[in-house]
Each structure stands twice: as structure tokens, then as C-alpha cells.
Structure 1
């Protein structure tokens, strides 16, 4: 049962950063999921595409720690790679396994996904495996993404500067709410319309927001122990996403067989409860209850005609339901 969206409170230390490594991770994610990332990216060269496939688990639904790490507000990719090279191999290997858990969980995941060799190497031979990953990052940047970065970086830097100005002008909660329609001011902080519930108090650890030209339709919250919470958001706000509770109410309304039949009765023309009851020989009280629930869920429009109330199906709301649901699931 969905109880609440992701909540972030304790907004005493909030900053923005531009991260080339984070944007590279979003690019690798996007090129591997073109069904919901219709972005204009050049195809990966054949050899790099094979390597990207082997490391795809680091940039899927949960990102490996290097892609959600912020060391400074605007570091170069070279500086970020140097941070990774300075880590002990076993520690970096554990960071790469973050999306799939500890060693035992990682090996189970690997067998299910057909990436046994790559994950097993991180567990059993972290030195060579980590070196291969760092080579992959350098190749992906130099041979594929570097040409895009000069055009992307100013967009991200401008968004980060605007966020800093918004924090000064209206406070961190209002500034965060301005990042995307899925983020709203609530409960002394903000809430994000995501499917999985969660609450993060960032009073001590801080919050870093990282804009991305490629992460839409996602709004990504990265919770890595011992680090500031990282929020990766679209540089340009996406379309609104209804709250989960509203979508649940609509889905529940249509999941009732009787209510679905009543929705069908008002799909082609407005009708009253009495008309529907008489035409289909059903109880008028029950029909009226169904119509009111459809209206309360935002799926039907009531119009009073003297003593009578006609209901008409809101076809646009029904048509949007699939897209709204997908938007929520992808957040």
C-alpha cells in the first residue's frame, strides 16, 4: 500500500552542483532505455556498446555510487575520475555493486541477468574489474560524450545558478518545488511524487541538487550512507504527475465491475442515475453511488439540469490515466 511519496526535510544545507560524471551516467542510462528516453544521442560505437552492455547494471534504475557522488560544485570529468582512481579497488567495487546489493545478492542478480563474469569479477577480483570500469568511463567520455559536453555544461550551470538564486529569494523548499512539478512544498520540507515511500532528514548530511538534460522523465533521489542526499532532476521541468493517491482512486474506481459498466453507460452521452437504472434494470441507488465515485475520482463530470444531475464520462481523464500512471512509475 502506498502511504506517502518521498519526503525530504531538514533543509538547512542545500546546494547545487554540475557533475559531468552524473550526466554521463544519465546518458548511458538513456541510450540503454530509448523507450522512455527519446533523446538525441549519437549511437554508441560497436565496441563501446558491448562494454556499455556489460556495465549497464551500474546505470539502470539504481545508479552505482560514482554516478551519484558529488565532490565539488563544478569539477571536470578528469578530476572526478581521479577521485575514483584514488579509491581502494575493493571499495570502488562495492560502490559499483550498490544497485544490486552485497556480494551474495550481486551474484544472484548476475546469474538472472546474464552478467555473471562482470559481477563475479568485482566480487572476486576487484582490482582488474575496477580498472576495466575506469577504462570504460574514460572511453565512453572521450569517444562518445565529450563532444556533447560543451553544449550541455552551460545549460546545467545556468540551472544550478538559478536554483541558488531561488534558494536565496524564497528558501530551499520553494526552490526545490520549482525544479519539477512532481516536487511540492509539504510538512516543513518537500515531497516528491514517486511510487516508493521514503523520508530523508538532511539536516546534518545536506542535500545536493544536480540538474540533468537527460534524466527526464525521472527525478532521481540517491541515498548513499555517509554522503549528502543527491537529487538529480531534469534541467527543464517535465509535465505534471498526479499524486499517487489520486491515481489509486481512479484505478480503484474503474476496477469495480459495476462501476466500469456505469462508466460505459455515460461514455457516449450524459445520463442520470435514473436513466441508467431504467435502461439496464439495475438499482438506482447503486448507480448513483457509482456515478458519485467516478466524479470524485475525476473520471466523470456532473451537470445539474433542474431537479436532475447528468453525468458524462471525462474521456480525456480516462485517456490520460495510462500516461499519468506511467509518468508516476517512471519518476
Structure 2
């Protein structure tokens, strides 16, 4: 079984490799929703989940059918932009029928990929969407009812949710991965120019290949689904992702430009630390009192006097322990007026070991 994208006659200039902040946010949200799919990202998911405000976490659960089991087409933009805001603006220009049909495709519209009409204009598809949503529980049923009754209001709610995710965690993550994604896209583009599309496609994923014969040219994606699409008069966009492994997504829905999201080679999202830095960090957290201080500092910022009072030790003792943690790069210090606040850098601690991080956040 496979997904086949017909590119017969399509100029190579219309085949692009480019990162997308919206697509990467979709991948990150999927990772948070189904962390078991992404064991390599366990440290990132643990850190990010622990830092989410309860209100935002609750809203993510409400809308997670768009990125839980697979990915809604609206999260795979065919024309990537520089910023998430620009891509969200593009979504705002999409008509309601297309947006709602795509948003509900995964769990509430099983005939979507066959080109079925939107539930906004077809009563049978509307009833089917509501029935399928009801089978997944009252929260999803309520969300789908709201989307069908008030598409503009629900779309605005979704945009605010994605913007709040950007502010809460994704902007920082994107700043760390976008250069890596851009470098991979440039490499694939140069490979296509020098050695041809077949080399670039194979380099993106061993599960993809280019087939050429007298009948034309096709990109074939080895997946346990059957699907076909044509890029005639259109284009094909390849979106690299740092969060995607082991998934390889292909957008081949009728009426949409084909898009393929492929995982780039794995790399720690936090960057590599030297052996000496790791040694300092392990020694820093090995002390029982410093481990207890980390427990407080993981939950929020504290002053030296607050920590001394909480653990019934002197302020100079706290300062000595904080100095060790700071030298190891495990805490962030910030002055607020005449007070100095300290907080655990959970992204650094996560790379030391998720078991330790979970123990201080338990």
C-alpha cells in the first residue's frame, strides 16, 4: 500500500523544500498529546507539559482531535511563511466549508479524503460528524456542535489557542529548531538541483521514492494507507520536521495542493553539553539539600531568604548551594527590584535525565 502523488510534467521549480512554523507547531502538539509515539522527545514533552498552565492544557485537550491520532490538513500549509502569524493569516482567508471539513477530517468525517462535501453544506455529513464526535465523548461532541453552529467564532478560538501555545512554549522551541530545519531544506533543494529529484526524495526519507516510466512521474510514499493525488497545475511542498519521527505525513486530499511532512535526522532539541558540564550538573544535584532546593525552584522562582525559611537553614547556606547550582548552569537568576529570584532551568535538567525532573516535579 502507498500514497502516490502524480507529478508528471511538473517543473522542479514547483517542488519546494521549506520549513513551516504552523506545521512544526502541529507536530509539537501531537507530541504532547501522544508522547508514547515519540520516546526520543521524552525530556521535551515532560518539561513542556509540566510548565503548561492548567487552563491552556485543558483547551489543548478540547481541540486535540486535530492533531492527536494524525494531523488535520489545516496544519500542513502548502505555502510556508516566515512566521506563525502569517500562516495563521492564510488560514483566516480559507473559506468556512474547507476549514471545517479539514478540521473535522480525523475523527468526524471519515469520507473527507474521498472528496465528500463539507458538513456545513451537507445534512448527511453533518449528522455523521455529530454522531462520530458523540462516540468520542461529550467534550468532543460539544466542540463539534459549536464548530458547526458558529464556524467564525470557533475558528477564532482555534487561532487564539495556537497563539497562546506560541507564547507559552513554541516560540522558544521554534527559535531552536528553525535553523536546523532551514538547513535541511536548503540541503534537499541543492541535492535536487545537482543530482535530481529522486536523490532529494530518497534523502528526505527511505520510505519515499520517485518512479518514472512511459506513463509519467510519481512520488511514492510507503504507508499503510492507499491514496492518490495529482500535482498537475499545482505544486508539491516538502516540510521538514524535528518533531515528526517516526511519522511521515502526506496531504493528498482532493482540492488541496499535495504536501509531505518528513522527519529530519534526530538531534537533541536542547543541544549537546560537554562532559565537564554534565559532570558539574550531576555533582550539583547529588547533594540531598540541593535536590530539595531544586524541588522548590522547579515550581517557581524563590529568593534566598524564602528558601532559607522553607528549609530552616541559614541564608549563607542557601547561597552556597545556589552558587553550586548556578555554576553548573542549572538555575536562572533574575533581579526584581531589590530582590534576586532564582528558578530551576528545567530544559537543562530535562537533558540530565527525565527521571530526576519528574521526581522534583512530582
Secondary structure at the aligned position of 2:37 is classed as: coil
Q: Which residue of 2 aligns with 1:67?
A: 75
Secondary structure at the aligned position of 1:176 is classed as: helix
- For residues 181 and 96 of structure 1, what CA distance do their matches in structure 2 show? 30
1:5 counterpart = 2:2 = yes
1:164 counterpart = 2:189 = yes
How far has the Cα of 1:190 moved from its partner? 3.4
CA contact 2:79–2:237 (8 Å) conserved in 1: no
The 3 A distance-change label for structure 1 pair 98 and 75 is farther
Q: Which residue of 1 aligns with 2:360?
A: none
Spell out the pairing of 1:192-203 with structure 2 (5 A cutoff). 192-203=221-232
Spell out the pairing of 1:300-319 with structure 2 (5 A cutoff). none
Q: Which residue of 1 aligns with 2:89?
A: 82
1:55 counterpart = 2:80 = no
- For residues 23 and 95 of structure 2, what CA distance do their matches in structure 1 show? 21
Q: Which residue of 1 aligns with 2:180?
A: 155
How far has the Cα of 1:90 moved from its partner? 5.3
Instruction: Please point out which of 128, 131, 155 is paired with 1:108.
Output: 131
More helix by share: 2
CA contact 1:173–1:189 (8 Å) conserved in 2: no
Q: Which residue of 1 aligns with 2:37?
A: 36
The 3 A distance-change label for structure 1 pair 91 and 200 is closer
1:223-251 residue CA offsets vs partner (Å, 9 max, x unmatched):
2333320000002279xxxxxxxxxxxxx
Secondary structure at the aligned position of 2:204 is classed as: coil
- For residues 60 and 204 of structure 2, what CA distance do their matches in structure 1 show? 30
- For residues 82 and 76 of structure 2, what CA distance do their matches in structure 1 show? 14
Of 226-235 and 78-87, more deviation after overlay is shown by 78-87
How far has the Cα of 1:89 moved from its partner? 4.8
* Runs of 5+ consecutive residues of structure 2 not aligned to the other structure: 110-118, 120-125, 268-362
How far has the Cα of 1:87 moved from its partner? 4.0
CA contact 1:181–1:237 (8 Å) conserved in 2: no
Q: Which residue of 2 aligns with 1:246?
A: none
How far has the Cα of 1:196 moved from its partner? 1.1
Q: Which residue of 1 aligns with 2:147?
A: 122
Aligned residues: 234
How far has the Cα of 1:112 moved from its partner? 1.0
TM-score (norm 1): 0.65
